[in-house]
Amino acid sequence: MGGIVRVSVTLPEDLLKEFDEVINRMGYGNRSKAVQDAVRLFISERKWLQEESGIQAGVLMLLYDHEVRGVEDTLTDIQHNYADIISSTMHIHLTERDCLEAIAVKGEAEKIRRLSDELSSKRGVKLLKTVIVSI
């Protein structure tokens, strides 16, 4: 294991406030440990998804701000490009701004990865959680 490297991260004020509230409830002594755990979790989830192959099925949970210009059209266009692996979608209005989409998928792991990566990288997308199983 290497040394410690200090990094700087820019976060929206409300996200940092929520993060602090959650880590305080969980008993973290400082942000650094919580950020390290969050990064490890992100890496392990992405690694698992990237190393799997063959036919998989699961759900992509997508949280986004529908008031970001063009985000809904962009997300719809992407989903149309992957119609062969998308079985179903469900759209839920959470708040005045936030929407949650559950996208059921079944197909080649590589194609599911591409869909997940394309969706998560778009402006307005706040979170994409992938739950996949090999079948």
- Greater confidence (46 vs 129) lies with 129
Residue 6 lies in a domain: no
pLDDT-based confidence at residue 47 (cuts at 50, 70, 90): low
For residue 97, tell me if it sits in a domain.
yes
Both tokens assigned to 71: 């985000």
Please give the pLDDT value at position 135.
73
Is residue 74, in this structure, part of any structural domain at all?
A: yes
Same domain, 86 and 20: no
In this structure, the answer to whether residues 39 and 98 fall within a common structural domain is no
Identify whether 124 is part of a domain.
yes
Q: Give the CATH number, domain containing residue 102.
A: 3.30.70.1150
Query: Does residue 37 sit in the same domain as residue 86?
Result: no
Q: Is residue 8 domain-resident?
A: no
Question: In the chain, what percentage of residues exceed pLDDT 90?
Answer: 70
Same domain, 59 and 100: yes
Separation of alpha carbons 61 and 89, rounded Å: 10
> Both 130 and 64 in a single domain?
yes
Q: Is the pLDDT of residue 94 over 80?
A: yes
Neighbours of 37 (CB within 10 A): 13
Cβ proximity of 111 and 103 under 8 Å: no
Count of domains for the chain: 2
Q: Are residues 34 and 77 in the same domain?
A: no
pLDDT score at 61: 96
Q: Left, alpha or beta for 68 (phi > 0: left; psi -120 to 50: alpha)? A: beta
Distance (Å, whole) CA 24 – CA 106 = 38
- Domain containing 22 equals 13-48
Mean pLDDT on 62-69: 96
Q: How much is the average pLDDT of 9-21?
A: 93
In a domain, residue 78? The reply is yes
Q: Do 29 and 58 belong to one domain?
A: no
Tens of pLDDT, residues 71-84: 999 999 999 999 99
